[in-house]
Amino acid sequence: MVKKVLKFGGTSVGSIDRIQHVAGIIKREFEAGNQVIAIVSAMSGKTNDLINLSKNISENFDKRELDVLLSTGEQVSSSLLAGALINSDVKARTWLNWQIPILTEGEHSNSRIINMNINKINNFLKTGVAIIPGFQGISNNGDITTIGRGGSDATAVAVAKLFNADTCEIYTDVDGVYSTDPNKIPVAKKIERISYDEMLELSSLGAKVMQSSAVQTAMMYNIPLEVRSTFTDRKGTKIFDQDNIDYSKSVTGVAYSKDDAKITLIGVEDKPGVAANIFEPMNKAQINVDMVIQNISADQKTTDITFTIKRDDLLKTREILKANKNVVYKNITQNENVAKVSIVGAGMVSTPGITYKMFRGLADEKINILAISTSEIKLSVIIDEKNTLNAVKKLHTIFELD
């Protein structure tokens, strides 16, 4: 008997017709003799609608109550799906976070699943399909929590791990992981097999087809994943621990995100400890600094320091800098209209000249690079937001991904 975890994203359950269609997929799997646990996202747009509702009350809506509110999106789609299955003569039921329970730790809106009770559901699976709303759990004091945007992927991986499932299939609105977002760059190519490392970089750098913390957990526990389409039967993309990675291609994919912001402190005194003084209070406030650039200015006494942070952290960062009496600077500028464009590929390790090729390509398009960061298998640049798609297209072409 094969135990399958099937996760259906927001678009896949975006209407009653689609929910009926998903019920058909599950029924087929169940009647083929598999045990099925389905993880369901909220209907597309629902989570954003709920966030907007809360903003009508307050921009700073209480975090605990926000999780109560947001968790309802997945409950709606789960119960509709269970109802559709029951209507087509398949035994099914929804298991809510507190009924299982799914235990989480961490702060509201950004919790992590740490455990769940598998016994009751395992019993149920002998005769029926279990539907679990994704994206949520409960804390050890019984509060409803959510686990970050796109978190149903992470629920699916956690369920696959804890239930020791044979497969974990991520059903979505594209038929696999592509060399870049196929909805934005139509010449993007489907990747048949991709390593955890590359997928983790791609998703952390903006390819939202998989949520990055889900990939991280899958990598940690060696849980193979398959990303595939809800709407076609085409073969999807396998994400797993590849022993023999194809190094013939230096770059596997191009990702981009628009959630960074850039800050420059102009005329900072150039002496030991100054960078530590700038970043210490930000670190305490858990603000993640991504890229840092320091220029020596003409007078050799002062320097300009540029760094990037998440756009959501901009206000808080400005407040912290203002309150920081240990750093003196002449001026401060910020730029929110930036994008991060990245190339990712395990083959980059062994291919010289990648950096030059990327910079040359962007220069040919007259795109100015505002900041750079590298790791073994990725190279990211910050550029003006308006050049994003142009840059992605160019890099996709010059690294032979079209």
Residues of this chain that interact with ligand ADP (CB under 6 A) are: 9-12, 41, 150, 172-174, 177-178, 180-183, 207-209, 253
Residue with tokens 């003569």: 89
219 residue type, one letter: M
What is d(CA 274, CA 238) in angstroms, rounded to the nearest whole number?
A: 46
| Dihedral sign computed on CA atoms, order 363, 368, 373, 377 | negative
Is residue 10 within the footprint of ligand ASP (CB under 6 A)?
yes
Name the one range near Mg ion by CB under 5 A: 5-13, 187-195, 222-230, 324-332.
Answer: 5-13
Residue 103, number of CB atoms within 10 A of its CB: 18
Look up residue 210 and give its two tokens: 């998989």
Is residue 14 within the footprint of ligand ASP (CB under 6 A)?
no
Q: b or e along 295-329 (b: 16 or more beta carbons within 10 Å of the residue's beta carbon)?
A: eeeeeeebbbbbbbbbbebbeebeebbeebeebeb
Give whichever of 115 and 229 is closer to ligand ADP, judged by the CB atom.
229
Q: How far is the CB of 126 from ligand ADP (least distance, A)?
A: 29
Q: How far is the CB of 314 from ligand ASP (least distance, A)?
A: 21
What is d(CA 184, CA 181) in angstroms, rounded to the nearest whole number?
A: 6
Residues 6+ apart with CB under 8 A from 195: 239, 240, 241, 242, 245, 346
Entry field: residues in the chain:
402
What is d(CA 98, CA 330) in angstroms, rounded to the nearest whole number?
A: 54
List binders of Mg ion among 311-340 (CB under 5 A). Answer: none
73 binds, among ligand ASP, Mg ion, ligand ADP, none (CB under 5 to 8 A by kind): ligand ASP
Look up residue 65 and give its two tokens: 């109550």
Among 14, 133, 134, 176, binds ligand ASP (CB under 6 A): 134
Q: How far is the CB of 331 from Mg ion (least distance, A)?
A: 40
Among 150, 206, 253, 347, binds ligand ASP (CB under 6 A): 150
| Number of shown-chain residues binding Mg ion (CB under 5 A) | 2
253 binds, among ligand ASP, Mg ion, ligand ADP, none (CB under 5 to 8 A by kind): ligand ADP
Residue number, nearest CB to ligand ADP: 9
List binders of ligand ASP among 43-102 (CB under 6 A). Answer: 47, 73
Q: How far is the CB of 153 from Mg ion (least distance, A)?
A: 6
Is residue 150 within the footprint of Mg ion (CB under 5 A)?
yes
What is d(CA 77, CA 12) in angstroms, rounded to the nearest whole number?
A: 10
Give whichever of 209 and 305 is closer to ligand ADP, judged by the CB atom.
209
Is residue 30 within the footprint of ligand ASP (CB under 6 A)?
no
| Residues near ligand ASP, by CB under 6 A | 10, 41-42, 47, 73, 134-135, 149-152
